[in-house]
Every structure is written in structure tokens, then in C-alpha cells.
Structure 1
């Protein structure tokens, strides 16, 4: 009998967290294991989505009382750091006769669980979505966080990263020549759960009236139209260059800009609504998004470089680019440290809008788009299977 504790300091509907759970359930099913799975989480943003998995093996535990939501966020984090080890210890004490695997997403989950591991034993998997020592613009905070982060790093049996260019950070906390230097650091990229072939997407004409909901938007994708469409999809927040994209749209009226997502701030939406060549859609299923993206000229992937973590970003949009044969518009600070896979599929712009730099870069998109669609198809790794394989190495 094995006990698995999957822990996240946000709602378990998080896509990457859902993939790790799917990989675990797949491993349990394929090996006919006797196991119990506990998903422990903090619904800090009051997410309305249903829980992502319903399985007789899994139990969900939301351990943060909602009455605490009136507290400042840093105080809520302190409460989480105190409640989590207490709850995990209770679960562990009830299952002492079984082997325990702690899967912890990010520092706020891994740090308290590493203390529990020291006392009650078990195996710790540390999946680092964002390196805590690189999250802030405050140098003192980053130094302190890095100092504390060495604890879960050195107590882990496996460390998982989202990109090759970020693995060095964990290797720095596992100095060579120490007993900890042999802890494996593997990369599981944020690939889509469903991976269609590029040719299938391009050959299937979409029902754009169904997707877009109005004739005005559907006309953008008319093959006879001369409009050139660029898309910004996903997390439409200030630190993802939305203002720069809107400034570009205001000047480059021969391009149409389509925003797709649910997080666009009201002040940006008011600007977007005032421009004749910008359009907004709420989030749509990924399979439908791929079909629409394949009709676009390019896809924005901008990250605020003033945040250290963003300078190591490996945009998930690179997989959209591969699947849809679509070039990316990426700010140059990201490309400076990026994987060649991203660099070869992108044009570089400044994060802050600059007319000359942006117009020069955007003008290169038609040729790059044609080249990408004539090139060979890539074999995209299935992240659910990679998580399954990661669990198998420890059991």
C-alpha cells in the first residue's frame, strides 16, 4: 500500500498540476498498485472550476478556511505554512505502515513538507513551476528565499523543472562533490495534453461563426480577406505585455489583434473596445483555439523582463507554435537565454512598444510562417507520460 500526497498552494485545476495527477493515476492503473491519493490545496483565488479529477483513489482537501481571505496575502501564506505540515503529519500518522510520496508544487508546498519528511519519513518530489528565489524584484527577498529553498532541494529524491534553461538554478543549490549532487533534476515541459498533427489542424476548416460568435470576427478569417491577424492568448496581464500590444494595435491599423483569455483587466478592455482592429474572446477549448491560431499570422509571447523569473521563461506558446505552424513574437530579453527551439520560431521585439523595432520584427512574420509550415513536424513529448515515468523511477 502506498500513500501519495499531492500538494499545491492554489486550486488543483492548475493545468500542470492536473498533468502530474493524471500521470500518477496512469502509473497506478498500469501497475495495479494498492494506493491512496490525497490532493491538498489552497483555493486562494476562489476558483469556480470543478475539481479536475474524480477518481475513487483520490481525496481532495482544501485546508485554508475561507474566512481568512480578508487577511493580507503574506499573512495567509504564513497560516498556510503552519497548517500544511500539521495536516500532512496527521495524514502521514494515519498511514505510517505505508510508503509515502510527497509531490509538492513550488516552494510554499515543498518547504513545510520537507520538515515533515525529516520527522516522519517518505519520498519528496519537488516540482518547481517558478523558482522562489527569482520571483521578486527585491534582491534581499530573493537572497532569503534562495537560502530557504536549499532545504527542499536537498531533501528531495527528484526535482522537476519546466525548462532546460532553468535547471541551472537547482543545480546551483545542489553543489558538486556533496551527497546532494546526485539528486536527479529532470525537465517536464508544459506541453498540451492533447497534441493534434499540424496537417490535421490546417486541413480542417473551422466553424468560425460557432467559435467567434459574430459575423464581424468571422470575416477576419475569410481566405479572401487581406487582414493580417495576430493573437495574444492565455494570461492577459500587465506583466505579459498587453499594454505594448495595444499601443502597437493603435498605430498598426493594417493588422487585426485578437485577444483570447479570461484575465484581461478592465482598464485594458476599455482601450481594446475603443480600437477598431482589436477583438476579445473569453477562453475557449484548446482544440478550438489551435484551429483559430493556425489561421493567424503570429502569436505574442511577451514577459516583463524586470522580474528575474521572466528572463528564464520558456513560453508554453512554443508548443502552440509547433502544432499550428505559427511564428511567435517574443521580447528580446527572453530570447537571450532561451532554448534554440524557441529562438528559431520567433521574431524579437522590445518589451516596451517601439514603433521601429516592432514594425521591423512584425514584417518578418509572413516569411517565417511559410518556412515553419514547410519544415518537418516535431515530435512533442507527452507531459502526462513524462510524469508517469517520473513516478516509476521512485517506486
Structure 2
């Protein structure tokens, strides 16, 4: 089995690779190493990692000009090796997988983390965005199965010819049982934001809401497109601590020990309205309430499970009021956190998603062998 992703850092791909291996399959990963980082930390006994080394800044428009080299590298690897199933993650890696199947027989799974057209930068002209959206819909017909990360994304596949669909949420495994964390008792009320440093993630609204609230501490971790501007801004606030990029364990500890998690996504970007991030499910796992903006499908989950508070993206006053409400009511925080943990245990954990993934593999591999036997 081969998993392909045009990004060297992809936690979901690593999760999927480990789960597929657990199902009894031999697994290879083919990743684009965009910044020359040492990928040894992503290697594991469960799978083999193959790297395409070609530095290109993530999010840079220069990336488009390097597609042809990435596609050539994928094609070369596929023609050189034999696979029963190719699991491709993202439209930017899909075309060579389709073309190479003319010479190599394998099953294709197309895993859509984010739809390509809607996730393009905000200033992308609509005709270009629509073109890539339609191309992606067209390509889905060449897959034996399509995976999406939540039910809400079905709306983006209208008119597509799909043979088999599976929904596998971007959940996390229950890591709390294996790790010792400190208690949540602290001297100050703490908010944690971990993720991309971008002005499209509500960070400016959060800073504005906290500018006169010295009794609330904000911890921020991550890097991103606006990091230089935002890091300079963080220095102005005495109650804001920026800790840079952190590993998964550190982020998980902060999620557990903080009083609330912040998860805003600017709804002007179409894909943001369908965001289904790890931080939501990690907050659930850690029994920590989360604040999200109501224009997202993430807010639908938070409302259904009553595991956090929901406010409009651009309403700083409502955001501040929600934070002050949580700070003033520890029982509310505790109850929201408990609700999230219960939802995690029943519906939103990787153990359940892993079973769906392995069942899909078994179904497709069995179907492929039956077809080969009949021929």
C-alpha cells in the first residue's frame, strides 16, 4: 500500500499509515519534503518513508510551477514499484496516480483533506477557483473510493461520479491514558491557541478581546504566513506568551492544562467554513471547552455536543463576553469539558475511524482480487 501526500508534515497521513499497518498491510509513504527538514522523526516501524526533496515554501504560489517535478517523481516511483492500492491525499498529487494506472494495476483511494479550489488564497479570482473545483470533481470518478473528513463536505461534491464514499473524521487517539499530565489548577485563567499564525484565524479579534484583561493569560504556539507581523504584535501584550512551534506532546499538554481552546476560521475563505481541525477533537479528548465561530461546521459539532461556546467571527464583543463568562463560571467550564470528553469516547475518536479505514481497505482489496480472479 502506498500513501502519497505533497507535504512532509501531515499528522493525518501518519495516523492513517499506522492504522493501515495495524490492519496487516505493508505500507509505504511518499512525501514531498518542502524545506529540507530531517524526516526521521516521522519514520516508524509500521511503514517506510520515501522522500521527494525539493524546497518550496508551503503556501507560496511558486508551488504551482513545481507541480510538474512532483508529478514526475510520483510517476517514477509508481512505475518502479508494485502496489495493490494507492491512497492519494490531495488533488495536487492525484493526476499522475491516475495516469500511471494505465501501466500498473492498483486500486485508488482519493482522500480529500481540503478541497483544492475553495482552499486557495482569498484573493484568487473566482474563475480560477471554479476551474480547479470542477477539475477536482471530475477526477473523483477515477477513484475506487473517496474519503472525506466530515459529512458537511458532501455539498462540495455535488455532481461528482463517485463509486464509494467513506467519512473518516480527523479525530485523535486517546493519548491521555498513556501520558501523565499536571493538574488543571493554575493561578490564572488560560487560553491556548495552537496552529497557523494567520490573520484568517481570528487571532487579531482574540488579542483585541483580551487587551484590557490582564487576569487572562493567552498562550500561542505555531508558525505561519503572518508570523512576523503577529509575533511583533504579541510583544505588545503583557498577558500573551508566544512559544513558537511546539511538538505534539507539548501542544497536547497545553490543551489539557488550559481552561479554554480557541478555534476561529475566517468564513470568507470557503474551505474555512468546513474546517474540521485536530484541535476540536483534542479539546474533546482533554475535556477542555473550546470557543469557535458560528459560521463553521465545527460550530455544529460544538453545539450538538454542548462542549464549548459559539460566537460570530467578527464580533469581538461577543468573543470577550464568552471568555469572561467561562472565566467567571468554573462549573460551566467543567461541564462543557465533560460533555466534550463523552462525545469523544462515543463518536469522535480515532479508534472508531481506524475501523472504518481498515474495513474500507479490506473491501477494496477483496474486490480487486475477485476481479483479477475472474479475468
Q: Give the Cα–Cα distance (whole angstroms) in 1 for the partners of residues 236 and 310 of structure 2.
A: 27
The 3-state SS of whatever aligns with 2:285 is helix
- CA offset at residue 265 of structure 1? 0.9
Alpha carbon RMSD of aligned pairs, Å? 3.2
2:216 aligned to which of 240, 255, 269 = 255
1:122 and 2:92 aligned: no
- State the Cα distance separating 1:149 from its structure 2 match: 1.1
Q: Does 1:369 align with 2:339?
A: no
- Which residue number in structure 2 is paired with residue 77 of structure 1? 67
**Post-superposition offset of 1:261:** 2.9
Q: TM-score, normalised by structure 2?
A: 0.81
Residues 132-151 of structure 1 mapped to structure 2, 5 A cutoff: 132-136=116-120, 137=122, 138-151=125-138
| Structure of higher CA gyration radius | 1
Query: How big is the shift at 1:364?
Result: 3.4
> What is the DSSP-based 3-state SS (H/G/I as helix, E as strand, rest coil) of the residue aligned with 1:28?
coil
Contact 1:301 1:330 in 2 (8 A): yes
- The yes-or-no answer on 1:191 pairing with 2:153 is no
Relative to the length of structure 1, the TM-score reads 0.77
Relative distance call for 1:184 and 1:271 in structure 2 (3 A) is same
Q: Does 1:8 align with 2:5?
A: yes
What is residue 87 of structure 1 aligned with on the other side?
76
> d(CA) in 1 for partners of 2:138 and 2:98?
7
Alignment of 1:1-395 (within 5 A): 4-11=1-8, 13-28=9-24, 35=26, 37-50=27-40, 52-55=42-45, 58=48, 60-62=50-52, 65-66=54-55, 72-81=62-71, 83-84=72-73, 86-91=75-80, 95=82, 100-136=84-120, 137=122, 138-170=125-157, 172-174=158-160, 180-181=161-162, 183-196=163-176, 206=182, 223=186, 225=187, 227-263=188-224, 265-335=227-297, 338-339=300-301, 344-352=306-314, 354=316, 356-365=317-326, 366=329, 368-373=332-337, 375=339, 377-378=342-343, 379=345, 380-382=349-351, 383-395=353-365
- What do the CA deviations read for 1:242-300 (whole angstroms, capped 9, x no partner)? 22222222233331111133447122122212211111224445445444333322110
Deviation at 1:38, TM superposition (A): 4.0
Q: Which consecutive residues of structure 1, in runs of 5 or more, have no partner in the other structure?
A: 30-34, 175-179, 208-220
Deviation at 1:230, TM superposition (A): 1.1
Q: Secondary structure at the match of 1:130?
A: coil
Change (3 A) 1:371 1:151: same
Number of matched pairs:
351
Deviation for aligned residue 1:141: 1.7
* Residue 65 (structure 1) shift: 4.4
Distance in 2 of aligned mates of 1:323 and 1:298: 13
Cα-to-partner distance string for 1:25-74 (whole Å, 9 max, x where unaligned): 22226xxxxx5x44322222433442522448635141x54599999222
CA distance in 1, matches of 2:267, 2:56: 36
